[in-house]
Amino acid sequence: MTQLFEELDSRGLVKQSTIELERLKSILNGPSLSVYAGFDPTKSSLHVGHLIPIMILARMQTAGHRPICVVGGGTALIGDPSGRDSMREMLTEEKIQENMRGIQAQLSRFIDFSEEKALLVNNYDWLGFENYIDFIRKIGPHFTVNRMLNADCFKIRMEKGLSFLEFNYMILQAYDYFTLYKKYECTLEIGGDDQWSNIIAGVELVRRIEGREVFGMTNPLLTRSDGKKMGKSEGGAIWLDAEMTSPFEYFQYWRNTTDDDVVRFMKIYTFLPISEIERYSSMKGEELNEAKEILAYEATKILHGETEALKAKEAALNLFRKGSADGAPEITMNINLLNGKLLADICVNAGLFDSKSEAKRMILQGGLTMNGVKIEDVAKTVSASDFSKDIIELKKGKKTYLNIKVVR
């Protein structure tokens, strides 16, 4: 008997449930069941915004349940209209296959897929082979269009137009649940609160066809206290793929959490015991920096492992406390591309800026530092004295560091 329900509830992860809380509690805390959450393979990497259901599944697994991650290879061909006001770009099957591989790798950082302790399935495996007529004969009678049109997730789109293609999304997701129930005895679906309509559609479908009650639960959609979207930062989304967002950047993302969010995020995004997290909730002002560091370290550790997390922490310490550029993100460049070249050009080559115009703008605004010295001359060229240590330390603004290692 675990305290899973209390665990999730105290971390603020329960928003709505298809059953009363008391029953939800006994189900969550009861014998092992299979629980599923869906992930859209629309990109080759998941990002911070996907983390909540992942963390919930991970906690469920720890409590003895079996997570089923459904990668929507089939539904991605349709596009979920929930929460968006325009139609999604359609993806090719090849692209989806490719994306799935990346997503799978990332999920396994959080969830143990060995010995079938968790499953990863692609809904294309069942959706892709359905015959249209058979399918609508089987499923169609159980849905009324009237009801569907009333679903929240379609509401916004009623204004802007909703294609029949997307209208089917809900039915397909419901069918997923039905299939998972049949195949794996899956009796719980979780998802963000925007998935509520889709989840209850699945719950109802199973009840109508199988006469069996299955459950659904949503987590609150997280917005940051400053109103910004979760998972977005300076450069864009924060990805779980280390190639797309380095462990250092990932660490920094969490380290820069707004004061008001630190404790809330610790509850959601780390495995630290609630009792320990509570200690930080009394912290105010500058003290919270300590909490932020712990949040960043823990979150990075879960995804990238302890070694990387320590490295990131160390680098941050050097950069922001000691003023040393040790451990900053580093790239190597051949000396031929550096000596005598325009600094602005070098920065663009190094990926610090997207264009030369941007680089120049930044210099004019006093936002570029090289080897600890603010660069004020747009026409600055790099010479041997600038890389006498075989390294050029660049800093854009206050927080973006990049070391260029010189290859002779």
Q: Which residues contact RNA by CB under 7 A?
A: 158, 160-161, 163, 226-228, 232-235, 252, 255-259, 285-286, 288-289, 292-293, 316-317, 319-321, 342, 345, 348, 354-358, 360-362, 365-367, 378-379, 396-400
Q: How far is the CB of 351 from RNA (least distance, A)?
A: 13
Check if the beta carbon of residue 239 is closer than 8 Å to that of residue 46. Answer: yes
Q: Where are the beta strands (DSSP E) in 256-322?
A: none
Which is nearer to RNA, 221 or 342 (by Cβ)?
Answer: 342
CB atoms within 10 A of CB 35: 25
Which is nearer to RNA, 73 or 79 (by Cβ)?
Answer: 79
The gap from C-alpha 120 to its chain's centroid, in whole angstroms, comes to 17
Q: How far is the CB of 84 from RNA (least distance, A)?
A: 11
Which is nearer to RNA, 76 or 291 (by Cβ)?
Answer: 291
First-last CA distance in the chain: 63
Distance CA 192, CA 222 (A): 9
Q: How far is the CB of 158 from RNA (least distance, A)?
A: 7
Which is nearer to RNA, 103 or 346 (by Cβ)?
Answer: 346
Q: How far is the CB of 226 from RNA (least distance, A)?
A: 4
DSSP 93-147: HHHHHHHHHHHHHHHTTTS--GGGSSEEEETHHHHTT--HHHHHHHHGGG--HHH
> 3-class SS at 23?
helix
Q: How far is the CB of 111 from RNA (least distance, A)?
A: 29
Distance CA 243, CA 120 (A): 23
Which is nearer to RNA, 39 or 353 (by Cβ)?
Answer: 353
Distance CA 340, CA 345 (A): 11
Cα three-residue angle 46-314-223, rounded to 5 degrees: 35
Q: Report the run of H or E that residue 202 belongs to, with start and end.
A: helix 196-210
Those residues with Cβ within 8 angstroms of residue 381's Cβ, 6 or more apart along the chain or in another chain? 340, 341, 342, 343
Which is nearer to RNA, 135 or 167 (by Cβ)?
Answer: 167
Residue type, 191: G
Distance CA 318, CA 372 (A): 14
Q: How far is the CB of 343 from RNA (least distance, A)?
A: 11
Q: How far is the CB of 353 from RNA (least distance, A)?
A: 8
Give the phi and the psi of residue 256 in degrees, each rounded to 5.
-90, 15
Which is nearer to RNA, 126 or 353 (by Cβ)?
Answer: 353
Q: How far is the CB of 297 from RNA (least distance, A)?
A: 10
Check if the beta carbon of residue 265 is closer than 8 Å to that of residue 52. Answer: no
Beta bridge partners of 254: none
Q: How far is the CB of 394 from RNA (least distance, A)?
A: 12
Which is nearer to RNA, 174 or 347 (by Cβ)?
Answer: 347
Which is nearer to RNA, 70 or 363 (by Cβ)?
Answer: 363
